Amino acid sequence: TSRINCCDPNLRRLLKACATAGVASLAPAVLAQGKALVEGTEFKAIKPPQVPEVAGKIEVIEFFWYGCPHCAVLEPALAPWAARLPGDVAFRKVHVPFNEVKHQQLFFALDAMGKADDAMNGHVFNAIHGERNRLDTLDKMVTLVTKFGIDGKAFAAAFESFGVQTKMRKA
């Protein structure tokens, strides 16, 4: 008898592709119905409405957490998708602190330094999910970011800054 390893990356890719194809196959049927979305059923309006960060543009926000395995899988597909967005759409990421507030602080410190790009986010996701480094201390984070050319002292200063704390509260 053979056993199925649910952690096998090839099996996970196959299952993900099947699930994506299944969901995608439903989209035309849903759209063909032409029904208007109903507030309270299909969506909940944010009240009061949030002011977009880029005036005059449609804002798409990805809420994510570095510790989320699903976010880690989605991350490589986001950059090519975001690159194809029309000019009237602004895409941004907001890290939310599900279980680890320090991960959110890590993201906003990188963001404050202009280093929260797709490559660095990929390195963080890989450290947590590929290398099993929880990045749960400032020392572990400094070790990681310096490995990719970021000044450790500048990162630590940004990590503890008022600006990062403010962005965390807003998020």
Provide DSSP, 9-60: HHHHHHHHHHHHHHHHHHHHHHHHT-PPP-BTTTB---SSPPPPSSTTSEEE
For residue range 22-62, list pLDDT tens digits in order: 545 455 555 555 678 899 988 888 888 888 888 999 999 99
Give the mean pLDDT of 54-73: 93
- Please tell me the pTM assigned to this model: 0.72
Res 18 pLDDT > 70: no
Q: What are the structure tokens assigned to 71, written together?
A: 């976010």
Cβ(54)–Cβ(95) below 8 Å: no
Res 14 pLDDT > 90: no
